[in-house]
Amino acid sequence: MEDAETAAGIDGGLDWSDGSAVWEADLLPTEVRAAFERGEEMAGVAVIALALNHPEPARVLPLVAMAMESSSPQIREQGLVAMAHTARLHRAVDRRCLALLRSCARGNPADDDLWSFVPHHRLPLWLRWYHAKQRLWWLLRGRW
C-alpha cells in the first residue's frame, strides 16, 4: 500500500518525487500552493509550469510571490523566471510581485520581460528609471 501511495504522490495527486510530473498541463494552483506548504523541492519548477500553462495570471502571481519569498535561493530564482513568463504571456504583474522584485538585483530576466511586455504606465517608477538609464547608456556608448 505504501508503494502505491508513493507512486501516486502522498496526497493522491502528482508524484512530486519525479520532476516531470509538475509539467502536466492540468496542474492546478491549489496543488502548487499545497506543495509550498509541504516544502516540496520542486515547488519552484511547478510555479514555472503553472506560469506557462495556466490561463489566469491572477491565480498564478500569488504563487510567484510565494516562490520569491522562499528561503531557498533556487526557488527564488525560479520565481523570477515564472514572473518573466507571466509578463511575457499575459502582459501582467501585481504589486506584491513588483515589491519583491525591487529587492532583487537589477538585470534579472523578470526586469527585462516586464519592460518588454507589460505596458510601461503599469510599472513602478524605479523600474522605469532603471530602464531609462540602461537605454541612455546604450545610446551614449553606441555614438562614441
Average pLDDT for 47-52? 94
Tell me which range, 1-15, 79-93, 108-122, 130-144, is most confidently predicted by mean pLDDT.
Answer: 79-93
The stretch 95-111 carries a mean pLDDT of 93
Instruction: Give the integer Cα–Cα distance in Å for 139 and 130.
Output: 14
Q: Give the model's pLDDT for residue 135.
A: 78
Radius of gyration of the chain, Cα coordinates, nearest whole angstrom:
18
Collapsing DSSP states into helix, strand and coil, what is residue 67? helix
Whether residue 90 contacts residue 99, with contact meaning beta carbons closer than 8 Å, is answered with no
The percentage of the chain sitting over the pLDDT mark of 90, rounded to a whole number, equals: 62
Q: Answer whether residue 4 shows pLDDT above 90.
A: no
pLDDT score of 77: 96
More confident residue, 21 or 131: 131
DSSP assigned state of 43: H
The dihedral of CA 30, 53, 103, 95: what is its sign? negative
Instruction: Count other C-beta atoms under 10 Å from residue 13's C-beta.
Output: 16
Question: Does the structure show a pLDDT above 60 at 35?
Answer: yes
Average pLDDT, the chain: 85
